[in-house]
Structure 1
Amino acid sequence: MLLVLTATANEMRAAFPEAPAVAQGETAGYEVGGRSVLLGVTGVGLLNTALCAGQWLARPDVVGVVDLGIAGGYDLGGTPMGSVCFAWQETWPEYGLLDEQGAADPEALGFAQGEAGGRKVWNRLKLSPVRDAGRMGLTLGEDWLRAAGVTVSGVTGTPERAGWLELSCNGQMENMEGFAAAYAATLRGLPFLEVRTISNLVGSREPGDWNLKGALRSLHDVATTLFAA
């Protein structure tokens, strides 16, 4: 059984409109594309995601993890509004020793977060989306984009901060859960796939740079493609 995570009930409802309603911190079984999945709504942010994923991945019948949701794009020329992206990397830029500008050196304290695949995990995880999608029997859309994810605890609110994250993290899409979900799956040795629809320009609060409703609507097409029979 695959565990399918979203941060919010709205994202889960958008992706699977015919599924039972799932509240934050809860799961529900569902049949999609002729297979059984476990739908789980974690709540927003790294902490909620880590707590829920740790609990749900203790189930022996979970054999893979899919993280679905919306995300901001750092460069709408590369990741246009409404486009679908799958993550090949996740970075948590806030882990480590912070300087006066809010930049973190993940190795300055000397404490790695842990080990996965025989390597220390500091603030970055390399993912294998094509391989892991295949391992889980999932289909990636032909026009979906490959993107580097940046997981933050607070939504980036200025162009200056957005520019720094894009440069320092090789960032293409910003979210608040991806690193935690990926790390939880990696520690269990499970295949992992993160797919997000671009809803806004990171760092902008201008209404014209946001389309949350459109990004949510696209999640249904994402789920339909992923679980195509």
Structure 2
Amino acid sequence: MRILIVAATEFEVKDLISDFGFLISDSDQPNTYRTPHPTPRTALITGAGMVATSFALGKHLATNQYDLAINLGIAGSFDRSIALGDVVEIDEDSLAELGAEDDEAFITIDKLGFGESRFKSTYALPIQFNLRKTNAITVNTVHGNEASIYKLGSRINAQIESMEGAAFFYACRQMGVPSMQIRAVSNYVEKRNSDAWQIGLAIKNLNTFAAEFLDWERGAKNR
């Protein structure tokens, strides 16, 4: 199986890349490392945000074919029942800001008739991994203000927040590539409080899951 790992930053997947010997690619630099494994695996580092993600994926998928693309990254959680460091599967992601304001109301791009804002995973994670399925929003500005968090919550019941997920799903769907998104929670969505963040734990758990999945995939291929 040809697998593409997509991450906003190399920092989030550095250990995975090193351990599995991925070919590294991004939107500006040439490939820098070739995998020693017989099954090609590539890590695409897009840069942060939905614009960078969409551009990098569109450019890369125009000339490369994959059986599966996996978006890996850390994220914030609105849902306090999800512990910091937990790894979750995003099965639906939305472009929360795409639309128009009508005084105090928000009109989604769907209702405006100019596009769509909700996108779903198109790959079924094997049941033995037993990750919690969650919904997410993708934003340009991560929330850190109590008033804006409350306002968002009044119209969207989101659990996870990232800056890339929905754009990743959209690009993969447009190019016909099966996709899944896996996130590890590094912080809660609240007034900015970096002292409470658990970035190291989230990255460790994220890479542990990804390594287990890749080992399983390689074993399944050989069975």
Q: Give your verdict on TM over 0.5.
A: yes
Q: 1:8 maps to what in 2?
A: 9
Give TM-score, length-normalised by structure 1.
0.81
For residue 43 of structure 1, what is the aligned residue in structure 2? 47
Alignment partner, residue 61 of structure 1: 65
Structure 2 residues not aligned, in runs of 5+: none
State the alpha-carbon separation in 1 of the partners of residues 122 and 17 from structure 2.
25
Q: 1:161–1:59: structure 2 CA closer, same or farther, 3 Å change rule?
A: same
| Structure 1 residues 33-85: Cα deviation after superposition (integer angstroms, max 9, x where no partner) | 863211110000000000000011112432321100000010222x2110001
The size of the alignment, in residue pairs, is: 212
Letter in 2 for 1:80: A
1:120-199 aligned at under 5 Å gives the runs 122-130=116-124, 133=125, 141-142=129-130, 144-199=131-186
Tell me the equivalent position of 2:204: 217
Match of 2:92 among 83, 89, 108: 89
AA paired with 1:8? T
Residue 125 of structure 1 deviates from its aligned partner by: 1.2
Q: Tell me the CA shift for residue 28 of structure 1.
A: 5.2
CA distance in 2, matches of 1:178, 1:32: 29
Residues 20 and 102 of structure 1: CA distance in aligned 2, closer, same or farther (over 3 Å): farther
Conserved 8 A contact 1:97-1:104:
yes
CA RMSD of aligned residues (A): 2.6
Identity of aligned residues (%): 25
The one-letter code sitting in structure 2 at the alignment partner of 1:41 is I
Q: Which has the higher helix share?
A: 2
List per-residue Cα deviations over 1:142-188 (Å, max 9, x = no partner). 3x211101100111112332344345333111000011110011112
Helix, strand or coil at the partner of 2:13: helix
- The AA in structure 2 aligned to 1:220 is N
Query: Unaligned regions of 5+ residues in structure 1, if any?
Result: 113-121
Q: 1:74 and 1:218, CA in 2 relative to 1: closer, same or farther beyond 3 A?
A: same
